[in-house]
Structure formats: structure tokens, C-alpha cells
Amino acid sequence: MYSILIVDDEPDVRVLMEQKFRRQLRDEKFTLQFAGDGVEALEVLNGDDNIAMVLTDINMPRMDGLTLLDEIQKLKDSNLKTVVVSAYGDIANIRTAMNRGAFDFVTKPIDFGDLEMTIQKTLDEIHRLREALLAKSQLSSLQYDLSTAARIQQKIIPKTFPPFPDKKQIDIYASMDAAKDVGGDFYDYFFIDNERLAFLIGDVSGKGVPAAIYMAICRTMLRAVASQVADPGECLRRVNKMLIPDSDITTFVTVFYGVLNIRTGSVKYCNGGHDLPLVLRADGSVETLEDTQGLLLGKFEPIDFETERVNLNKGDILVLTTDGVAEAMNKEQDFYTTEKLEETLKEIGGGKKPKEVTEDIIASVKGFVNGYEQSDDITMLLVQYNG
């Protein structure tokens, strides 16, 4: 509810105003406060942050209305609006008042119908300004939130390629094209021992800082458990159990986790509710990995996670993506789809390095969406076995 400060040295103003606006006061449209001059008005304004509007006479003792306008300009509350009451035809004072920040004016003798419309117009403007300031504040908060989330996300994901230049048996490349709202996509890779490369890709539900923090927790847990547990299915089972206490009803993560033996090309893997990777064989054929038993993580417990195996031959590439690839959308609201990704990989063919294949996929997706703004990150991790 708005509060209006009426500044006038006439003794009967209070009774008159409360009588004329009794309906609005009864309906709690606004409240009225009173001051006898500019000095008293400033004391009231400095002690009450709820005052939204000042209705002031110009001619008053100690401090007149024009001087009061100057003093109001020095106050912190930029939403405060002032309406001056001036003698009819007193153009000079009205012009001065408007130049000193008055929002509007009414003339004496006061037409209370006109005054009521002026008050309503002023309160409407105050409401509009407050809504705009609130939206600006919320936008700033959101921008800070997204900026923080983006920093967390970028700190977590590896960005140096090739990551293991001394390991000629493998080649790795990854890409993340962030959407307008920072999502929860992440990927990671690390050696468990001299022969076993762990790699994973995941997508946390939600956006912003909560998703980024949960993403960091998932990555840390996966790394910690993977160093102790050889079996991918058992690894995800333990991570899921650890995540349950940190999850709320809307928080979960999908993860594909694999372990590549760089000596043999054998890959053990487990899928936790994630989009299944594709294999681009060296001969140009494309396969979808067999799914494993296992739901998303952080939501249900207990869950059994199954481990499957696939063999990579020299030149084969595992193509891991988040759903932002298959669900990339154009302005006609059509999805890119997994089928389209398979077609693209077949067109790309075998014999290319992960970086080249990634760039070709990105070009295909960008050509499909044709500049249409995406709501989800587009993330890929490609792992090639070189034998």
C-alpha cells in the first residue's frame, strides 16, 4: 500500500483531505501523512521509507515547496514522485517546480476530481517504475547467477587438446556450445592407471548455480570412486548412493561412463539414463552402443547398474553427446534428432580425427538451427582409439 505525504500549512487541510479520500483510505488504496512545511516534511521523509508520493503547496513558512523539491532531489529514493499545488496562472512557479523534479501539478482552488486523477496517475507511474526496477534487479541477479554458473562450468571441464600428448594410442577432443541459460552439461576424462582411460559425459537437471554446484559434486564423486572401483556399473551404483542425500525432488544427473583399455581397445561402460553414444568406425559405418540397465543418478535408490563392453579397432571413434545435440531446434520447432546425427556421421565417414569430426557435427547442427537460439548446451566428447 502506498503512503502519500501532504505538505501544507493550512490547518484544515488534514480534515479536508481525509474527508475527500475516505473511500480510498477505507479500501486501503493508500494512506495519508501530513506535514506543516518543508522542514517538517523532510523529517517525515527521512524517517519513513514507505512514502511514495509528496503533494506539496508552494507557499509555506520556514521552507517553501520549491526549496523542498531541491531537498527531495538529494534523497536516495529515486521512485519518490512530487506533485505541487500552485495558484491558478502561476506559470513561473509551476515551470520552476517542474524543472526541479516535480512530476505534475494541480492548481488552486483545488478540483478534487482532478486531484484524484492526478494522484492515481502518479501512483500508476510509481508502480510502473517499481516494477521496472524489480525486473532490473531480478535480471542483474540472474545475470550474476548465470555468470557464476558459467565460471564454475568452465573451471570444471577440461579444455586442453590433446590432453595426453604422450599417449599415442588415443586422441580426444571435446566441445561445449553454451546456451543462453547456463545448463548442467559436463564431461571429463582421466587415467585410472597407465592403461585404463576413464571418460564420461553428463547432464545435470536445472540451470544456473545450483546445477553448476551439483555438477561439480558429481564430477568429484565420479573421479573419487573410479580410482577405487574398476567396474563402471558398480562405480555408478556407488556414486548414485552418495548423491541421494544431496538431491532434492527436482535434481538428478544423467551420466555415461566408460573405461577404455588403451592397449587392447576394449571399452567397458555403463549408461545412467544418458543419450547413448555412437561409434564412428574407421570404415565409415556408424553403430549405436547397446544400452545398459541403469537409470539417472541422484533420484532413486537402490538401483542396479549394468556394465557392457564394446571393442574399438584402430581409427574408431566413440561419439558422446548430451541431449542438446539431438534436441537442437530450428525456428520451425523441429529437432535435429539422433537419426540426423547418425546420418551426419555417415556423411563425415572414417579416417578423420576427433577434432575434425566435432567441427563437422557442429557445422551440421548450426546449419540446421540456422541461428535459432538454443535453450540447452550442445556438448560433445569424442574418444578415438589409435591402436
For the chain, residues classed under CATH 3.60.40.10 are 157-385
Residue 164 to residue 260: CA distance in whole angstroms: 14
pLDDT (tens place) for every residue of the chain, 387 residues total: 889 999 998 888 888 888 889 888 888 889 999 999 999 999 998 888 889 899 999 988 899 989 999 888 888 666 789 999 988 777 888 888 888 888 888 888 888 888 889 998 988 888 887 776 666 655 555 455 556 656 666 677 888 999 999 999 999 999 998 766 556 789 999 999 999 999 999 998 876 677 777 888 888 899 999 988 989 999 999 999 888 876 666 778 999 999 999 999 999 999 999 999 999 999 999 999 999 878 888 888 778 899 999 999 999 999 999 999 999 999 999 999 999 999 999 999 999 999 999 999 999 999 999 999 887 889 999 999 999
**CB under 8 Å to 148, separation ≥6 — which residues?**
209, 212
The sign of the dihedral angle between the CA atoms of 231, 235, 238, 241 is negative
- Choosing among 3.30.1360.120, 3.10.20.90, 3.60.40.10, 3.10.580.10, the CATH entry for 157-385 is 3.60.40.10
**CB under 8 Å to 48, separation ≥6 — which residues?**
3, 33
pLDDT at 7: 94
Cell numbers found for residue 137: 534487479
**CB under 8 Å to 94, separation ≥6 — which residues?**
84, 86, 105
Q: Contact, 65 vs 59, CB < 8 A?
A: yes
For the chain, residues classed under CATH 3.40.50.2300 are 2-134
Q: Contact, 303 vs 272, CB < 8 A?
A: no
Q: What is the pTM of this model?
A: 0.64
pLDDT at 2: 86
Cell numbers found for residue 19: 474527508
Q: What's the CA dihedral at 152, 242, 238, 191 to 10 degrees?
A: 30
Cell numbers found for residue 268: 567397458
| Of 108, 43, 95, 89, residue with least CA distance to 66 | 95
Could you tell me which CATH class the domain 2-134 is placed in? alpha beta
